[in-house]
Amino acid sequence: MTGLQAGLKNRHLSMIAIGGVIGAGLFVGSSSGIATAGPGILLSYALVGTLVVLVMRMLGEMSAANPTSGSFSAHADRALGRWAGFSIGWLYWFFWVVVLAVEATAGAKILAGWVPAVPQWGWALIVMAVLTATNLVSVGSYGEFEFWFAGIKVVAIGAFIVVGGLAVFGVLPGVDSHKAGLGNLTGHGGFLPNGPGAILTGVLLVVFSFMGSEIATLAAGESEDPQRAVTKSTNSIIWRIGVFYLGSIFVVVTLLPWNDPSIKKQGSYVAALDSLGIAHAGQIMNFIVLTSVLSCLNSGLYTASRMAFSLGERGDAPKAFARTTSRGVPMAAIIASVVFGFVAVFFNYKFPDSVFLFLVNSSGAVALFVWLVICFSQLRMRKIIQAEAPEKLVVKMWLYPYLTWATAALIVFVLGYMLTDTEHDGRETVLLSLLVAAVVLVVAVVKEKVRGGGRTAAGAASAEVRGQDKVRTG
């Protein structure tokens, strides 16, 4: 057993940090948000973006001080107790293995449209198998694939913003887009055509497309300079969200009226490209969405396996999960994650409206649970770090502890608002996610009582340190 190895280069980490923010949900899910809130969807994205920036600042503070493959789960283990690290770690793992099935199916649909000779389930199998092989080779091969996947996404959105922005201001050569203009922000029923309440409904529709921002803090544990990697990704998250989310959505709602039927029919980005008369806009966007799907699959498998590895290392998962190959790859953790993903893909094709729908809805609110646990962990960890090693506080949460409490309150408010939402399955998602969380929590409490409380906080700390040493020296 060699432990995880520092196989990720700085360029890998930079692109993982950027690409982690751009999920396939941005391309696929934004149309329903625009249809619900109109141009006011910009406020929904800004609200969730602010929330993510604050949560990532807290996570950055803890991860820069103690870089570890378990990230927020390991921090919760130490700050709040074994039950917290166990529960949020397994819930996060569950979220990502369900995402594997969702993304594999989405990618297979696009590929089957291009090559119909291979059935959809066959493409899903091929995509999962290729990316599993990539992750099994080495962390460097994961990083290399993600570097190019994320690079394509970044270039595509950058080009979309530039081209669309020029069209909005009427200076794009050869294009006469009669629908484009800043007047679209207020000219079709106002900036908030469905009232201010639609902003919160929009929040529910877009919040899950931000999941993945935290991947860089997990990956940092396998880089040459974890502290620098975490600090850099934490400090750059504001412009990443501002440019890629707010920038691209701004372009969409100014290129076309928010109630243009093509937005819902074709998807927001395809409709926006079509309005400029760009040939094969649908296929161009399909390629970009496919890249995002493959990126999400690649990172999802990596993230799930590293969380399983960390749980195994802390005695909260089978010990085999903590074993690595000579290349520093946690093979058992990767295989276990992908097997569950394959099973979920099977359920998606066999029982899409029952078993698979339950899996998706019961993992849907996990993002918000993770963010809430990060808030409470940071409140406690700040005191621990200040007492033990204040020099490690290279990243600090702003206006501590007031902004941390305000962020936690906002997350609880969003969860509460979801309980009132029956139109977009918000209530069902929260209730089923709470049910799964309660089951995991009960298992955690029982497990802790059976082993008589397990390790002390000091033992957990030393295990974290040993894990970090393995990464640096292994």
Helix (H) or strand (E) holding 139: helix 139-168
**Above 60 in pLDDT, residue 472?**
no
Sign of CA dihedral 441, 442, 448, 453: positive
**Cβ neighbours for 204, distance < 8 A, ≥ 6 positions apart:** 414, 417, 418, 421, 424, 426
Find which of 23-37, 252-266, 456-470 is predicted with most confidence, using mean pLDDT.
252-266
What does the pLDDT read at residue 458? 45
Quickly count: other Cβ atoms within 10 Å of residue 40's Cβ: 25
Q: Is the pLDDT of residue 301 over 80?
A: yes
Query: Helices H, strands E: what count in the chain?
Result: 20, 0
- Confidence (pLDDT) at 187: 86
Residue 252 confidence (pLDDT) above 80: yes
- For residue 401, whether the previous peptide bond is cis, meaning omega lies within 30 degrees of 0, is yes
Rounded to the nearest angstrom, the gap between the alpha carbon of residue 120 and the centroid of all alpha carbons in its chain is 25
Domains by residue range for the chain, with CATH: 10-467 (1.20.1740.10)
Alpha carbon distance 194, 174 (integer Å): 35
The predicted structure's pLDDT at residue 176 = 65
Q: Is the pLDDT of residue 109 over 70?
A: yes
Please tell me the predicted confidence (pLDDT) of residue 471: 47
**CA 139 – CA 467 distance, rounded (Å):** 16
pLDDT of residue 473: 44
Res. 2 pLDDT band, cuts 50 70 90: low
Q: What is the largest CA-CA distance in the chain?
A: 73
Q: What's the pLDDT score for residue 431?
A: 92
Structure tokens at 203: 């929040």
Helices (H), 242-365: 248-255, 261-266, 268-275, 281-313, 331-350, 355-363
pLDDT of residue 457 exceeding 50, the answer is no
- How much is the average pLDDT of 119-127? 90
Mean pLDDT of 123-147: 88
Contact 305, 320 (CB under 8 A): no
pLDDT of residue 446: 92
Which letter, b or e, does each residue of 42-67 get, where b requires 16 or more Cβ atoms within 10 Å of its Cβ?
A: bbbbbbbbebbbbbbbbbbbbbbbbb
The whole-number average pLDDT for the span 169-188 is: 82
What are the percentages of helix, strand and coil residues in the chain, rounded to 5?
Answer: 75, 0, 25
Q: Two tokens at 243?
A: 């440019």
Looking at the predicted structure, is the pLDDT value of residue 356 above 90? Answer: no
Residue 309: how many other CB atoms lie within 10 Å: 28
Structure tokens given for 455:
């390790």
Q: Give the pLDDT band (50/70/90) at residue 421.
A: confident
How much is the pLDDT for 1? 42
Task: Please determine, for residue 68, whether its predicted confidence score (pLDDT) is greater than 90.
Answer: no
Q: Which DSSP state fits 208?
A: G
Q: Reply yes or no on whether the pLDDT at 454 is more than 60.
A: no
Report pTM: 0.88
Q: State the average pLDDT for the chain.
A: 86
Banded model confidence at residue 474, pLDDT cuts 50, 70, 90: very low
